[in-house]
Amino acid sequence: MPKSATLELNPALLEAAKFDQEPQWFADLRQAAWDQAPDLALPDFAKINYRHWPLLDFAASGTANETVPAEIAAQQDEYNFVSVSNATVKLTLPADLAAQGVVFCDLATAVKEHGDLLQQYLLTKAIKADEDRLTAVNAALMTTGFFLYVPANVTIKAPISILQVQDSRQASNFVSHSVIVGGDNSNFQVLQRVTTVGEEKNPASLAVEVITLPGSHVKFSSLDSLGEQTHAYFNRRGHLERDSEIDWTMGVLNDGNTIADFDSDLKGAGSHAEVQTVAISTGKQTQGIDTSVTNYGKHSEGNILQRGVLLEKSALVFNGVGKIIHGAHGAQAQQENRILMLSPEARGDANPILLIDENDVIAGHAASVGRVDQGQMYYLMSRGLTKEVAQRLVILGFLGVVLSEIPVASVRDQMIAMIERKLINGQRAE
């Protein structure tokens, strides 16, 4: 695979990324990833021509805008953690959770105060820095993110909510790396919201590692709404040990070009991953989403459900891969990829792939690319609804199979509001 001409090994990038007084183990990790990056290939996303995108055009210098945007300040009370660019604006952890040993902090604090714990999981299980060039650059230049560790047998009822803001009021870098660890038999929920303020052209690189130890259960929901001028790379990975579970629900609702890599490795026997994704593409944007579940453990189960909507001249590609490794007796792998097109100028691809190397398994897939059901439209418009409103209702019904699985009502309402915003803006443009 070709290398990207946009990566320049400017030492200023690495120096600017470093935390104050970061420990030697972390400095070595950065340096090793940086040294490897030029020799690593870009990841391969089938049917997505992204190599000319400025994903690695990071700013070598720049002055951060330290003022918190008013629209972000107004939302702070809704979240446990808020960051704008590299600055942590808010972080709260209820006293009862701290007393139970829960660790929740920004990445810089984790590196310096919880290094022994973080070192066990950062880039060791879910993501490896030397997988490809994009992961290596993320590892080398990470400047923001969070660390959440929930000890064994701890249950958290209220979701841990995170708001991360890319500050594009000026040229700046947004390279985030977060680590979530569920101890044995723990149970909790995480909501990650990612958005942009400002109109400057900047790349974004965001990685999340979720590690579930035996018997733990993590529900991870995300709402991505980065700006039109942002070329974004998302990498969310799960490493699941025996009898553990991750329920992923992700809304990919960015306005700019996006590639996303959502993977779950079912390492332990009886592990279980549910991966549900909603994506909407508008304007001339391209969004490519690779989702894979790999069954290593016996009687492990991985299910992929992806639904997307296209308007105007946009493009959306779903690549779904279910892989069962030899020895994963009794494993299950199912996937469904469906795309709804609202414009004859849009391009949608749904590509399900099954790679099976074991006999005693259950596996299947379904895929479709189609247009809005005119019978449904006729019925709704005959009841007095305008074409635009009827269309939005049909789309929400199409996406409802994913939206209904979001465990927190407030998160579900936020995602629906963001979907309606994208649909209304797309309809106006048409």
Position with higher pLDDT, 255 vs 401 = 255
Contacts of 134 (CB under 8 A, 6+ apart): 42, 43, 55, 56, 205, 233, 235
pLDDT of the residue at 226: 97
Check residue 62 and give its pLDDT: 57
Which amino acid makes up residue 323? K
Q: How confident is the model at residue 288 (pLDDT cuts 50, 70, 90)?
A: very high
Look up residue 172 and give its two tokens.
Answer: 């700046």
Q: Which residue has the higher pLDDT, 345 or 401?
A: 345
Give the pLDDT score at 402: 85
Q: pLDDT tens, 315-326?
A: 999 999 999 999
Of 260 and 388, which is predicted with more confidence? 260
Instruction: Express each pLDDT in 266-276 by its tens digit.
Output: 999 999 999 99
| Region of poorest pLDDT, from 69-83, 189-203, 322-336, 400-414 | 400-414
Q: What average pLDDT score do residues 51-56 get?
A: 94
pLDDT digits (tens, 9 = 90+) for 77-134: 999 999 999 999 999 999 999 999 999 999 999 999 999 999 999 999 999 999 999 9
Return the amino acid letter for 275: V
CB-based contact 131:290 (threshold 8 Å): no
Q: How far apart are CA 56 and CA 70, in angstroms?
A: 29
Rounded Cα distance, 171 and 230, in Å? 11
Neighbouring residues of 49: CB distance < 8 A, sequence distance ≥ 6: none
The pLDDT, as a whole number, for residue 5 is 41
Dihedral angle sign, alpha carbons of residues 133, 137, 138, 139: positive
Q: What is the DSSP string of 21-75?
A: T--HHHHHHHHHHHHHGGGSPPPP-TT---TTS-TT---S------SPPHHHHTT
Q: How do residues 177-219 score in pLDDT, each as one tens digit?
A: 999 999 999 999 999 999 999 999 999 999 999 999 999 999 9
Q: What confidence tens digit (pLDDT) does each residue in 360-396 have?
A: 999 999 999 988 888 888 788 888 888 888 888 888 8
pLDDT on residue 423:
84
Q: What is the pLDDT of residues 127-162, one digit of tens each?
A: 999 999 999 999 999 999 999 999 999 999 999 999
Task: Return the higher-pLDDT residue of 46 and 257.
Answer: 257
Hey, where are the domains in the chain? Answer: 11-267
The rounded distance, in Å, linking the Cα atoms of 97 and 154 is 9
Give the model's pLDDT for residue 222: 95
Q: What percentage of the chain has pLDDT greater than the value 70? A: 96
pLDDT tens-digit profile of 7-48? Answer: 556 788 999 999 999 999 999 999 999 999 999 999 999 899
Instruction: Report the chain's mean pLDDT, rounded to a whole number.
Output: 92
What's the whole-number mean pLDDT along residues 39-65? Answer: 86
Residue 41 is given by DSSP the state P
pLDDT of 11 reads 83
pLDDT for position 205: 98
| pLDDT of amino acid 1 | 36
